[in-house]
Structure 1
Amino acid sequence: MFSPRGNINPVPTPPTTSNRWQIVTVAPHRLFFTLAAFQLFCSLAWWGVVLILGAQGKQLPATLPPRFGHSLLMIWGVFSFFIFGFLMTTWPRWIDAPPIPRRRYLWPAMIMTLGVVLIYVGLIVDQLLLLAGATTLAVGWSFGLVALLRVIPNRSGVVPLHIPLTATGLVVGLLSQIGFIAWLITWNPLLLRGAINFGFWPGLALIIITVSHRMIPFFSNSVIPDYRMVRPGWSIYFIAIGLAAHACYETLGWIEWRFLADLPLAVIALYLSSRWRLFSSFGVRLLAMLHIAFFWFAIGFILAALQSFAALMGFTDVFGYTPLHAVSIGGVASMAIGFATRVTLGHSGRPLKAGPLMWTLFLTLQLVAVIRVFGEIGSRLAPQIQTHYEFASALIWLVVAGVWLSQVVKIYLQPRIDGRPG
């Protein structure tokens, strides 16, 4: 088609399969976030089926108790893709280093994906396949860790404290996976408790909170008027120590003394949320997502401290998994979605604005966290509601994950709209 000036106006054509592969693998966040979106949806779908069958008195064929499979998938099989997608994008920027070459993030992503596929099959068919899947996932994780560490020698800037802390979280995450693999071989319950607790608290949660400590003040500084960046180094170090201590107390079953870790964590999280000006962020939805998610950490730590105090006074099993789900859904999941949405928009050349749909999805995820928290508390008084609130929260979260997937993946499969690389 010719314009009046004689120039050719090309008619846009949909990318071919090979072109889509090149587009989705052109940057680490595209590849890892695509896999994260699909894996989040698949893991929630699997969990939903487990809950539906359980409500009917039936069981999905399983080689492992479903709750252990749920922990395996959520801690290492879902959020690991979010973590590597974000860190492989930001680490080079934080220390002024060249971007990570394509081959160095492609291999970890593919190996981890293979591991997750084997885990799904192994959870239903055979424990050896489950063991192979968990091992493969750990191998892919280690490849990703090495790819990140190779960025450091090529830096031209100062290494901020957030890099060694996120690296520590990745190492703890890898060691916890090895612990889970060892449990699959030995069935030692201490290995299972240690793997889950260390994999989540000083592993996954530490990474998410450390990234928040660096990025929330940075993003807020460019949006909130008269903002002063507050990122005290002591706070994140104390958080790291507190998360490790929480995992130790939890693993050893010393719940009544866990408040020694949980109470300082709650105080520090509240202090940071206040200094970062939580309420001032509400005028910018994309920023508010991050502030709201971080406030959930404070809520979770407060609930954990109260649970520990109750145990000290002789009241066992108060709140159940309430603190865990306040942190995991309200904090970790909300922050992962918030950061991934921001990176997706910014690195595709789109305006950094959360539209009505994205904002609704985020608020609906907050509803999931609220249902999970209050449902857990309510089930202590009325055990018959447990199946209902678990299913309701899983179903709503599945819908959120499905709609979010449909929105972000189509962006990952298209080039940047501003014509820039990445």
Structure 2
Amino acid sequence: MTQVFLNMGEPTHPYKGPTLLSAGHRPFFLMSALSAVVLLALWLIALLGGLPLSPYWHGHEMLYGFAGAAIGGFMMAAVPKWTNTESPIGWPLAGLVVLWLAGRIGMFIAEFGAGWELFALLDLFFLPVLGMVVAQMIMGAKNARNYVVVAIVAGLFICNLVYHLHEPANALHAGIFMVAALAALIGGRVVPAFTQNALCMHLGREISCTTPMWTHKAVLLLLFVLSGAQLVGAPDMVLGGLSGACAVILLIRMRGWQSFKTGFDPIVWILHAAYVWLPIGFGLKAVSDLTGWLAPNAALHALTTGGIGLLILAVASRAALGHSGRPLKVSRWTVLSYVLVIGAAVLRVLAQTPELILLSGGLWVAGYGIFALVYAPILLKPRIDGLPG
């Protein structure tokens, strides 16, 4: 059984300052939730002709803005527990947040025509700094098991660099696969561990959730190769074959996770509902690349709206509760946010008309809007148990 990826051990560091800056997950999970609403709402306005935003801007900002903030929050919550170190808090943490915000502002300004493009380069600062912070914690502690996390952040930055300086389309898709690699890594550790714990408590007996060990390295290796192949513009047959192999291995990992026994607890079943979008997305990409029977956007949105978007929702809601000293029980409003984002993912994959795309976007904005309203007070207020962090 794989150890729990997101250890909920309690912080011990003293801190005096704004609560929002008392732990790294607080501002980044909040920014992720708010950007999910704002960035998608801006794109819907653009689709209606109200803003001069390009599809590249939309894809980039949902990946490096929305998902980038969530990655920052997750790293700040998990890496200190893996390494028994402290992540930045206070003003150093505020500096990281400013770098992320500067990237969002720069990317938006750059969309308004000639002469403004250089502002987009502000986006290139956040990931390297985040990567250096994460690398210092992981490599400084000689935490070899998680060196792959540093490699994923580095790979994501390389994709972003190619996006800005060379060719955006392939770089954007390659970046999606790098985030999917992190999602697969998180899912492979979190989902079976948390599910086993919850089932043991619910059933009052020992129950095992297992993952074939060979799949851990195999799926990450395939995703690195797929991302590199996409970045250099490999033929569709190669990309489709690699995607199909990823889908199969990702699905094999779920066989021992007891997914159909998790309906008793939303904070558990949402992990499975999120993860399953990864094999679905790569399976759809394989069909699209190998046969041309399916629009490429359907596969990509299965990975982004479904796999990445839902997994962020699942992990952020759990982490925010656990790191605030609250019980790991979600409210009805949180469950509604889960359902709305699932609906957005399904509709976006199936959408054939502009109207359905707009409806899918509306469901996403509503789902993440509810999530932001529910969790903003949790992230902005001190822990209820009086502990720091």
* 2:387 corresponds to 1:396: no
Cα deviation, 1:229-273, whole Å, max 9, x if unaligned, reads: 434443132212222333355452522333321222111111111
Aligned partner of 1:273: which letter? M
Q: 1:419 to 1:52 in 2, by over 3 A?
A: same
* 2:284 corresponds to 1:303: yes
Q: CA deviation at 1:172?
A: 0.9
Aligned residues: 369
Q: Distance in 1 between matches of 2:52 and 2:287?
A: 38
Of the three residues 21, 44, 57, the one matched with 1:25 is 21
Q: Distance in 1 between matches of 2:260 and 2:28?
A: 32
Q: CA deviation at 1:398?
A: 1.1
Query: For residue 36 of structure 1, what is the aligned residue in structure 2?
Result: 32
Q: 1:97 to 1:194 in 2, by over 3 A?
A: same
* 2:183 corresponds to 1:208: yes
Cα deviation, 1:14-33, whole Å, max 9, x if unaligned, reads: xxxxx997011110000111
SS at match of 1:239: helix
Query: For residue 86 of structure 1, what is the aligned residue in structure 2?
Result: 74
* 2:210 corresponds to 1:230: yes
Q: CA deviation at 1:217?
A: 2.0
Q: CA deviation at 1:219?
A: 1.2
Query: For residue 279 of structure 1, what is the aligned residue in structure 2?
Result: 260
Cα deviation, 1:353-400, whole Å, max 9, x if unaligned, reads: 12211111101111111111122xxx3xxxxxx211111101111111
Q: Distance in 1 between matches of 2:17 and 2:260?
A: 41
Q: CA deviation at 1:93?
A: 0.7
Q: Distance in 2 between matches of 1:146 and 1:248?
A: 22
Alignment of 1:108-257 (within 5 A): 108-123=96-111, 125-133=112-120, 135-155=121-141, 159=143, 161=145, 163-183=146-166, 191-201=167-177, 203-225=178-200, 226-251=206-231, 252=233, 254-257=235-238
Q: CA deviation at 1:348?
A: 1.2
Of the three residues 304, 327, 330, the one matched with 1:351 is 327
- Say whether the 8 Å CA contact 2:25–2:76 is kept in structure 1: yes
Alignment of 1:254-265 (within 5 A): 254-265=235-246
- Say whether the 8 Å CA contact 2:341–2:368 is kept in structure 1: no
- Say whether the 8 Å CA contact 1:112–1:138 is kept in structure 2: no
- Say whether the 8 Å CA contact 1:259–1:304 is kept in structure 2: yes
SS at match of 1:247: helix
* 2:341 corresponds to 1:361: no
- Say whether the 8 Å CA contact 1:20–1:414 is kept in structure 2: no
Query: Unaligned stretches of 5+ in structure 2?
Result: 1-14, 201-205
SS at match of 1:224: helix
Q: Distance in 2 between matches of 1:373 and 1:130?
A: 32
Q: Distance in 2 between matches of 1:305 and 1:257?
A: 10
Q: Distance in 2 between matches of 1:249 and 1:152?
A: 28
Aligned partner of 1:419: which letter? G
Q: Distance in 1 between matches of 2:40 and 2:148?
A: 29
Query: For residue 302 of structure 2, what is the aligned residue in structure 1?
Result: 326
Query: Unaligned stretches of 5+ in structure 1?
Result: 1-18, 54-58, 184-190, 311-315, 380-385
SS at match of 1:344: helix
* 2:389 corresponds to 1:413: no
Q: CA deviation at 1:294?
A: 0.5
Q: Distance in 1 between matches of 2:294 and 2:130?
A: 39
- Say whether the 8 Å CA contact 2:337–2:371 is kept in structure 1: yes
Percent same amino acid at aligned positions? 22
Cα root mean square deviation, aligned: 2.2
Q: Distance in 2 between matches of 1:231 and 1:128?
A: 52
Q: CA deviation at 1:118?
A: 2.1
SS at match of 1:205: helix
Cα deviation, 1:186-207, whole Å, max 9, x if unaligned, reads: xxxxx22332122110x21111
Of the three residues 47, 54, 58, the one matched with 1:51 is 47
Q: Distance in 2 between matches of 1:88 and 1:118?
A: 24
Aligned partner of 1:159: which letter? N
Aligned partner of 1:175: which letter? I
Q: Which moved more, 1:255-264 or 1:73-82?
A: 255-264
Aligned partner of 1:389: which letter? L
Q: Distance in 2 between matches of 1:92 and 1:370?
A: 36
Larger radius of gyration: 1
Of the three residues 60, 64, 70, the one matched with 2:51 is 60
Q: 1:153 to 1:307 in 2, by over 3 A?
A: closer
Cα deviation, 1:38-96, whole Å, max 9, x if unaligned, reads: 2111101111101222xxxxx6235xxx1111111011111111001111110111233
For normalisation by structure 2, the TM-score amounts to 0.88
Query: For residue 12 of structure 2, what is the aligned residue in structure 1?
Result: none
Q: CA deviation at 1:287?
A: 1.2
Aligned partner of 2:388: which letter? P
- Say whether the 8 Å CA contact 1:364–1:400 is kept in structure 2: yes
If asked which structure has higher relative contact order (CA below 8 Å, sep 6+), I would say 2
Q: Distance in 1 between matches of 2:287 and 2:175?
A: 23
Q: Distance in 2 between matches of 1:49 and 1:394?
A: 11
